[in-house]
């Protein structure tokens, strides 16, 4: 790993054993990208990669006889109005109304490790040797501001992390109207753009399209979150790239609010990727001495296909984005009462459900929505963080003690950013809502957004919730957030600062997360947002797991978990076995399949176990034993490989393999059963070709070499699928290396 500055040729080479990024200080002082991709040897001179040619209608930005025209060079941080007619990464409006800037190279700094970002989540290093950072300082002498472009390269990963920061040193106020985290350019357009798109109940489906000239983009304007509709991620892959081979470039934004991820192809076939905070509703005044920091973007290069890219994100995010006690630990097997009771519970009912959970081997009981204020339905109570003693006479303190006395840990649901108008909180502080005073305040699920851009609101919520947490025995928090923002407006801010509201809201959310996770380092936090609308790397910095979707149907979950695994480690995916008929789809799936899907996540139950038959309870006990045996491999130690895509056919398959390749757990799932079906094989991945494995599934045991299992595969046992009910049946395989 190295960051090298070749003074003679004014070139930076950022590289490790996998990837190279080569930057060049152009004649006009701006930075060009000469190359980004698979590692190439370092040398003094890459100047031949800078291309200039006389073209009709070109605008030249240096004195004659020059040919440098910004429309035709691959830039590191493009701006508007000086001859580049593509979209800019930075827009600064000045006092005189001009948006023209000219940031020229001034100096640079290279240091080991990586610095934290103020107020923002970010990937971190644990020692200086893990990474090296280059910061290039550019300066605009007219407005007197510095632009700092930051690049961190990791020693062990094909990863470069970028962000940008602006420091205003001049006296005249300037206004940021848009500032991307990074802009990356490629010399050709032979790529497909891959994105994770969806909606409530069907989050993060994989969508791919061929790049065309012009702009293609995804975005969130939801304000409170990165959204269920689009995830803050895109990848460019070559058309012939598969799961296991070929090139992919991934871009993942560590942010939970409004974002834009855009690919623009010029009519000269150049491809520009930009990602960062969306400029809609964003306008940030900077006064003398003030700074603005963008979120960071984690760029992964893979020449080992999509699985290669995903495994890099998984390892990096699991070990250098997640933090705290739970980072390297297998997660407790939980039971959540939401689908068991919804709002309709008493302490007695909760204790009955918990008792049965304890009997089967569950470790953590989670009390979901409905325990506070007058929260007997979703019309009321949000904002009132005191216990409803009609339902829970001894409070959360009493209930958590009783649950712990049973031998279970206790977890609690909260939704701290929201308020119902029917609540004491709203009646006392009607002006705490996000919303424009003289306009209708749109609502969603009968609730409104508290203005977390205001520190006094965050402080109030912090005080209210820490009171409950301090007096109770809480081991887990499910932090929900169930609506998107409307009428974004802060009632206490000046008109010129309204464009800060949505970003400041997210900073307020991060602030509360920081304070609570620091104060309660033992608590396992799980984030949630109407299911999976906030499944992003920003939140992963605070919460090592996220509720993946409210859709708990095992068939649908295969798609959701498969898509989510493109970027996010499977240990981050909240996954539960729920009742049948499923509450979202009214579909019946075998109990074995519901567990076989949930094993590849955090694993838990979301139903009243008292309603299961004795045979089913015995099956649940076996499932819990299985997960206790294999969860360290699945959640912490293993590498996850996608084998068959639910987006491409009737079957899904995947595998987790230990680092030393001696152990693996794999699963095969089908949607509809087939009569007189074609032959089909399970071809494993990630095994050691020469190792001999003992493979077990249902009541079969087979000894086979890794190469046999990967290339010849095991025929799918149709009879076994029929016996398990046919539709939505599945097979779970365990593999252990044995002496040859």
The residues binding ligand GLA (CB under 6 A) are: 338, 368-369, 413, 480, 482, 528, 530-531, 547, 550
Nearer to ligand GLA by C-beta: 139 or 391?
391
Q: Shortest approach of ligand GLA to residue 109 CB, angstroms?
A: 44
Q: Are 226 and 530 in contact (CB under 8 A)?
A: no
Nearer to ligand GLA by C-beta: 312 or 530?
530
CA 614, 615, 620, 626 dihedral sign is: positive
Nearer to ligand GLA by C-beta: 368 or 536?
368
CB 604: neighbour CB atoms within 10 A?
Answer: 25
Q: Shortest approach of ligand GLA to residue 350 CB, angstroms?
A: 15
Q: Shortest approach of ligand GLA to residue 400 CB, angstroms?
A: 18
Nearer to ligand GLA by C-beta: 420 or 635?
420
The Cα-based distances of 306 to 76, 246, 250, 285, 573 in angstroms read 25, 8, 9, 41, 19
Whose CB is nearest to ligand GLA? 369
Nearer to ligand GLA by C-beta: 482 or 561?
482
Nearer to ligand GLA by C-beta: 145 or 350?
350
| Rounded Cα gap, residues 106 and 30, in angstroms | 10
| Rounded Cα gap, residues 280 and 201, in angstroms | 27
Report the DSSP beta bridge partners of residue 165. Answer: 148, 293
Beta strands in 541-591 (DSSP E): 545-547, 573-574, 576-578
Query: Of 84, 550, 553, 639, which is the active-site residue?
Result: 550
Contacts of 541 (CB under 8 A, 6+ apart): 121, 122, 254, 321, 322, 323
Which DSSP category does 129 fall into? G
The Cα-based distances of 1 to 115, 155, 377, 432, 601 in angstroms read 17, 5, 56, 50, 33
Contacts of 436 (CB under 8 A, 6+ apart): 487, 489
Which DSSP category does 499 fall into? G
| Rounded Cα gap, residues 253 and 281, in angstroms | 19
511 carries an active-site annotation: no
Q: Are 608 and 353 in contact (CB under 8 A)?
A: yes
Nearer to ligand GLA by C-beta: 443 or 626?
443
Nearer to ligand GLA by C-beta: 48 or 586?
586
Nearer to ligand GLA by C-beta: 132 or 550?
550
Give the phi and the psi of residue 638 in degrees, each rounded to 5. Answer: -85, 165
Beta strands in 189-345 (DSSP E): 192-197, 205-210, 214-220, 230-237, 248-253, 259-265, 271-277, 284-286, 291-293, 297-302, 334-336
Query: Of 21, 140, 303, 480, which is the active-site residue?
Result: 480
What distance separates the 2 farthest-apart alpha carbons in the chain? 87
Nearer to ligand GLA by C-beta: 295 or 370?
370
Q: Shortest approach of ligand GLA to residue 549 CB, angstroms?
A: 8
Which DSSP category does 304 fall into? B
The Cα-based distances of 207 to 298, 536, 581, 689 in angstroms read 20, 18, 29, 33
Q: Work out the angle at residue 282's Cα, subtended by the Cα atoms of residues 280 and 286, and round it to the nearest 5 degrees.
A: 155
Q: Are 279 and 270 in contact (CB under 8 A)?
A: no
550 carries an active-site annotation: yes
Q: Shortest approach of ligand GLA to residue 368 CB, angstroms?
A: 5
Of 661, 663, 662, 664, the C-alpha closest to 653 is: 664
Q: What is the H or E stretch that residue 596 is in?
A: helix 591-598
Q: Are 496 and 284 in contact (CB under 8 A)?
A: no
Q: Shortest approach of ligand GLA to residue 536 CB, angstroms?
A: 16
Q: Shortest approach of ligand GLA to residue 550 CB, angstroms?
A: 5
Q: Shortest approach of ligand GLA to residue 313 CB, angstroms?
A: 24
Task: For residue 545, give the 3-state DSSP assignment.
Answer: strand
Q: Which residues are catalytic?
A: 480, 550
């Amino acid at each position: 790993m190295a960051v090298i500055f070749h003074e003679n040729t004014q070139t930076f080479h950022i590289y490790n054993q996998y990837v190279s990024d080569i930057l060049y200080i152009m004649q006009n002082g701006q930075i060009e990208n000469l190359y980004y991709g698979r590692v190439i040897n370092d040398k003094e001179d890459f100047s031949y990669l800078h291309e200039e040619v006389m073209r009709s209608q070109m605008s030249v930005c240096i004195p004659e006889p020059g040919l440098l025209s910004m429309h035709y060079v691959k830039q590191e941080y493009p701006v508007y109005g000086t001859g580049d007619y593509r979209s800019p990464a930075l827009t600064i409006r000045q006092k005189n109304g001009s948006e023209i800037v000219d940031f020229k190279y001034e100096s640079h700094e290279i240091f080991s490790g990586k610095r934290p970002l103020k107020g923002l989540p970010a990937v971190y290093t644990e020692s200086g040797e893990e990474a090296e950072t280059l910061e290039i300082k550019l300066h605009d002498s007219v407005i007197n501001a510095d632009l700092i472009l930051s690049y961190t390269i990791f020693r062990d990963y094909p990863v470069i992390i970028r962000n940008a920061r602006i420091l205003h040193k001049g006296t005249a106020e300037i206004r940021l109207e848009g500032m991307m985290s990074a802009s990356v350019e490629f010399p050709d357009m032979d790529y497909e753009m891959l994105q994770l798109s969806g909606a409530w109940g069907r989050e993060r489906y994989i969508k791919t399209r061929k790049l065309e000239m012009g702009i293609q983009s995804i975005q969130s304007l939801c304000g409170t979150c990165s959204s269920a509709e689009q995830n803050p991620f895109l990848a460019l892959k070559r058309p012939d790239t598969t799961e296991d081979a070929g090139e992919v470039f991934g871009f993942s934004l560590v942010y939970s609010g409004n974002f834009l991820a855009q690919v623009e192809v010029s009519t000269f076939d150049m491809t520009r990727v930009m990602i960062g905070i969306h400029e809609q509703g964003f306008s940030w005044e900077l006064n003398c001495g003030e700074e603005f920091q963008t979120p960071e973007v984690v760029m992964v290069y893979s020449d080992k296909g999509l699985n290669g890219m995903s495994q890099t994100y998984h390892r990096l995010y699991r070990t250098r984005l997640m933090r705290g006690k739970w980072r390297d630990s297998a997660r407790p097997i939980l039971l959540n009462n939401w689908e068991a009771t919804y709002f309709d519970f008493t302490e007695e009912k909760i204790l009955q459900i918990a008792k049965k959970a304890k009997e089967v081997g569950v470790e953590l009981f989670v009390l979901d929505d409905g325990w506070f204020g007058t929260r007997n339905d979703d019309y009321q109570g949000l904002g009132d963080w005191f216990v409803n003693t009609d339902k829970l006479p001894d409070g959360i303190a009493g209930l958590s003690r009783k649950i712990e006395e049973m031998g279970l840990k206790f977890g609690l649901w909260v939704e701290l950013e929201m308020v119902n108008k029917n609540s004491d909180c709203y009646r006392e502080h009607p002006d705490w809502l996000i919303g424009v005073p003289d306009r209708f305040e749109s609502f969603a699920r009968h609730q409104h957004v508290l203005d977390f851009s205001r520190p006094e609101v965050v402080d109030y919520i912090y005080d209210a919730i820490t009171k409950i947490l301090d007096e109770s025995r809480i081991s887990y928090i499910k932090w929900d957030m169930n609506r998107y923002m409307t009428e974004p407006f802060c009632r206490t801010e000046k008109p010129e600062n309204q464009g800060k509201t949505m970003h400041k809201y997210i900073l307020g959310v991060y602030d509360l997360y920081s304070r609570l996770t620091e104060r309660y380092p033992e608590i396992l936090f799980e984030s949630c947002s109407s299911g999976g609308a906030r499944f992003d790397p920003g939140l992963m910095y605070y919460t090592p797991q996220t509720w993946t979707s409210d859709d708990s149907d095992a068939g649908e979950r295969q798609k959701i978990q498969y898509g989510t695994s493109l970027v996010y480690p499977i240990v981050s995916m909240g996954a539960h076995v729920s009742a049948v008929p499923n509450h979202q789809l009214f579909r019946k799936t075998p109990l074995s399949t519901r567990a076989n899907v949930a094993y590849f996540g955090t694993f838990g139950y979301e139903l009243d176990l008292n309603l299961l038959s004795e045979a089913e309870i015995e099956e649940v006990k076996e499932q819990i034993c299985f997960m206790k045996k294999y969860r360290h491999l699945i959640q912490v130690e293993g590498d996850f490989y996608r084998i068959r895509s639910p987006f491409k056919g009737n079957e899904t398959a995947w595998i987790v393999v230990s680092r030393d390749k001696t152990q693996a757990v794999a699963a095969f799932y089908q949607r509809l059963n087939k009569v007189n079906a074609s032959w089909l094989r399970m071809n494993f991945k990630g095994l050691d070709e020469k190792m001999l494995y003992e493979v077990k599934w249902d009541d079969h045991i087979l000894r086979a070499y890794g190469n046999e299992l990967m290339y010849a595969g095991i025929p799918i046992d149709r009879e076994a699928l029929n016996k398990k009910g046919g539709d939505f049946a599945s097979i779970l395989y365990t593999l252990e290396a044995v002496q040859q």
